[in-house]
């Protein structure tokens, strides 16, 4: 069956790329009836932190979406797989099984998409160049975590008025907000 123009975007919403090595380790652990660790499952949340030469494989997130309430998506607004929700709802072993099923569902091609139009395995470098990578995600997350940690350490800081140190030029932006050059 050929892919119709209006089917593409709907189908693409269900594809997510995961580290091939982590998926293979999960398969081995499940086969050997071993524990699937939280650390291993967290590797599935976002491939942007991996080395450029690591291989990624597509999975069908429609399988994952069945385990999320309608107000929660398997992929959050930052493009990360909501692994914590799956672990909380299903447990470690079942989350690992679900990720394997998601790959199997993708390989089975239940949507009947033309193979020439389907997502294919790729390196992290290729994934970034294809536009799946949300540039600056790691920096934004680190800045957010730092802000949250500062707020938790000093809850009164939110109530203090913004003050510039003596002699500071209020029109100048902090260096962290200046445009970056390549």
Distance in angstroms (rounded) separating the CA atoms of residues 141 and 136 = 8
- Residues 137-156: pLDDT tens digits? 445 444 544 554 455 555 55
53-85 tens-digit pLDDT: 999 999 998 888 887 776 677 888 788 898 998
Reduced to 3 states (helix: H, G, I; strand: E, B; else coil), residue 128 is: helix
Range with lowest mean pLDDT among 37-46, 63-72, 108-117, 135-144: 135-144
Position 112 confidence tier, pLDDT thresholds 50, 70, 90: confident
Q: Residue 123: beta bridge partners?
A: 55
The DSSP output letter for 122 is E
How many other CB atoms sit within 10 Å of the CB of residue 42? 14
What is the phi-psi region of residue 129: left when phi exceeds 0, alpha when psi lies from -120 to 50, beta otherwise? alpha
pLDDT of 153-181, one tens digit each? Answer: 555 544 444 444 454 444 444 444 444 44
Question: What is the predicted pLDDT for the residue at 1?
Answer: 32
Please say whether the beta carbons of 48 and 137 come within 8 A: yes
pLDDT at residue 48 in the model: 87
Instruction: Give whole-number Cα distances, 108 to 59, 102, 103, 112, 130, in Å.
Output: 11, 10, 9, 9, 24
């Amino acid at each position: 069956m050929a892919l119709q123009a209006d089917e593409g975007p709907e189908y693409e919403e269900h594809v997510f790329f995961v580290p091939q090595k982590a998926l293979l380790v999960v398969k081995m652990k499940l086969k050997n009836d071993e524990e699937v660790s939280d650390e291993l499952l967290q590797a599935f949340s976002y491939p942007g932190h991996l080395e450029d030469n690591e291989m990624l494989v597509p999975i069908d997130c429609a399988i994952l979406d069945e385990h999320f309430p309608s107000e929660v998506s398997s992929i959050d607004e930052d493009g990360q797989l909501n692994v914590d929700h799956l672990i909380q709802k299903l447990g470690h072993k079942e989350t690992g099984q679900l990720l394997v099923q998601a790959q199997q569902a993708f390989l089975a091609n239940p949507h009947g998409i033309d193979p020439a139009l389907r997502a294919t395995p790729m390196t992290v470098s290729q994934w970034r160049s294809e536009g799946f990578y949300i540039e600056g995600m790691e920096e934004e997350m680190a800045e957010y975590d730092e802000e949250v940690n500062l707020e938790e350490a000093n809850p009164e800081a939110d109530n203090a008025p913004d003050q510039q140190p003596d002699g500071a030029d209020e029109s100048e932006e902090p260096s962290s907000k200046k445009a970056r050059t390549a």
